[in-house]
């Protein structure tokens, strides 16, 4: 898979618990992304801290890591030319209250912390985050 053509998403515990996996995946497909890898799992606190290590030291880091380890999540690699930017547009602003109408975080988020989904913020991070969750044998 060519760099620049994919991004990593996580459907966060709040959205999974509230039955939003199906509606979110339908919108992802509807926006033209191909799901090239996917799994349903629960992170340990240590794994959550490792995934969010770029935010270590920020005031919300500990709560964010605990929240992301609090229940099952869906991880997926989404493929499309310009995937990182296109997906950031589909998910909307970090805070659901600021997010545009129709975005995933506006539709399915509760708060800035429980904001429904994660999306990689650069091609380098898409690569790092995809490798965190998936081996080459799990990418199609």
**Looking at 121, 127, 128, 139, which residue binds Mg ion (CB under 5 A)?**
121
Q: Is 28 exposed, middle or buried (0-12, 13-18, 19+ CB in 10 A)?
A: buried
Measured from the CB atom, the residue of 85 and 113 that comes closer to ligand ATP is 113
Look at residue 94 and give the partner it binds from ligand ATP, Mg ion, none, a contact being a CB closer than 5 to 8 Å depending on partner kind. ligand ATP
Active-site annotation holder among 99, 118, 123, 133: 118
Of the ranges 16-24, 73-81, 114-122, 129-137, which one interacts with ligand ATP (CB under 6 A)?
A: 114-122
The structure tokens 């091609």 sit at 123
DSSP 36-73: EEEEEE---HHHHHHHTGGGTTSTTHHHHHHHHTSS-E
Q: Residue 126: how many CB atoms within 10 A of its CB?
A: 25
Determine if 121 is a binding residue for ligand ATP (CB under 6 A). yes
Residues that bind ligand ATP (CB under 6 A): 55, 60, 64, 94, 112-113, 115, 118-119, 121
């Amino acid at each position: 898979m060519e760099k620049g053509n994919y991004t990593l998403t996580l459907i966060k515990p709040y959205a999974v618990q509230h039955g939003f996996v199906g509606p979110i995946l339908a919108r992802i497909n509807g926006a033209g992304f191909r799901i090239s890898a996917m799994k349903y799992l629960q992170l340990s606190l240590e794994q959550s801290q490792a995934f969010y290590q770029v935010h270590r030291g920020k005031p919300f880091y500990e709560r964010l890591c605990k929240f992301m380890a609090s229940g099952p999540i869906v991880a997926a690699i989404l493929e499309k030319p310009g995937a990182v930017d296109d997906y950031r547009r589909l998910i909307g602003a970090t805070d659901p209250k600021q997010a545009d109408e129709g975005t995933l975080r506006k539709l399915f988020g509760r708060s800035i912390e429980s904001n429904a989904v994660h999306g990689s913020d650069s091609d380098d991070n898409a690569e790092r985050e995809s490798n965190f969750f998936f081996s080459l044998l799990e990418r199609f």
